[in-house]
Chains A and B, each alone.
Chain A
Amino acid sequence: DQQVKQNSPSLSVQEGRISILNCDYTNSMFDYFLWYKKYPAEGPTFLISISSIKDKNEDGRFTVFLNKSAKHLSLHIVPSQPGDSAVYFCAARLGPNFGNEKLTFGTGTRLTIIP
C-alpha cells in the first residue's frame, strides 16, 4: 500500500530551465510534507517542507506547492543547475496526535540536469 507516490522515476531538464517534480498521496491524515535530495553514497538531505495549512513555501530556488483537495504536491526548482542532479524523495508525516514522527517516503525521482 504505497501511500506516497512519485510516478516519474526519472526526469531530465536543461540547465537554466524549471524542474518540476510531482508527488501524490492517499492518506488524508498526512499533515506535513517534506522533500529530500539524495546523492549516491550519502543519506537524504532535507530541502524544503510545507505544512498542510499552507499551499506554498519558498526557499531560494526551491518552491513547494501543496494541493490538499487533489492530495498532490510538487517541487519546483528554478533555475535548474547541474548540482541539482540527484534523486528527490517526497515524504509525508501524520499530525501530532499520532504520537511519533514516522516519515512515509515515495520511491523517488532521479533528476538529471543537462548542461
Chain B
Amino acid sequence: ETGVTQSPTHLIKTRGQQVTLRCSSQSGHNTVSWYQQALGQGPQFIFQYYREEENGRGNFPPRFSGLQFPNYSSELNVNALELDDSALYLCASSLVRGFRETQYFGPGTRLLVL
C-alpha cells in the first residue's frame, strides 16, 4: 500500500475525444510524475510536477498536459486521443525534491482508445 490512489481504474474512449485522469498523492508529497506503460513495455516518463509547476517533460506531444493542486492531487489530460494512447497510465509521488527520493506508484488507470 503506497498511499497513492488513481481514478478511474479503467476507461474506454474513442479517437479524438479528451480524457482526464486523476491521482491523489500521499500527504506531504510535493512531487508527482506521470508515466505511460504500453503493453509489454516499461513505463515511459510523460512529465513531472513540483509544487504545482511542470518540472521536466518526456517525449510526449503538447496534447498531454497536467496539473498539480495544493492538496497533493494531480491530473493528466490528454486531448485528441489516438489509438496509440491506449496504455496503463501511472502516477508516482515522492516526499521531497531530491534525486535519491523513492517514487511511490499508484495502481494506474488503464485507458483503451477505440
Contact = CB atoms under 8 A, between A and B. Distances in A.
Interface of A: 4, 6, 31-32, 34, 36, 41-46, 49, 51, 89, 91, 93-96, 99-108
A104 B33 CA distance: 12
29 contacts: A42-B108, A43-B2, A43-B4, A43-B6, A44-B90, A46-B102, A46-B104, A46-B105, A49-B102, A94-B99, A95-B99, A96-B99, A100-B50, A100-B56, A101-B31, A101-B48, A101-B94, A101-B97, A101-B103, A102-B33, A102-B45, A102-B48, A102-B58, A103-B43, A103-B92, A105-B43, A105-B44, A106-B42, A107-B42
A101 B102 CA distance: 9
A61 to B, nearest CB: 19
Contact of B56 (A4, A36, A102): A102
Nearest to A39: B107
Given A101-B99, A104-B45, A41 B33 contact: no
B21 to A, nearest CB: 13
Contacts of B97: 101
A43 B90 contact: yes
B81 to A, nearest CB: 22
B20 interface: no
Given A44-B105, A102-B58, A104-B45, 12 more contacts: A32-B100, A43-B92, A43-B108, A44-B90, A46-B104, A91-B42, A99-B56, A100-B50, A101-B56, A101-B94, A102-B45, A103-B103
A106 to B, nearest CB: 5
A102 B94 CA distance: 12
Contact of A105 (B42, B48, B99): B42
B79 to A, nearest CB: 23
B43 A44 contact: yes
Contacts of A49: 100, 102
Contacts of A91: 42
A99 B101 CA distance: 13
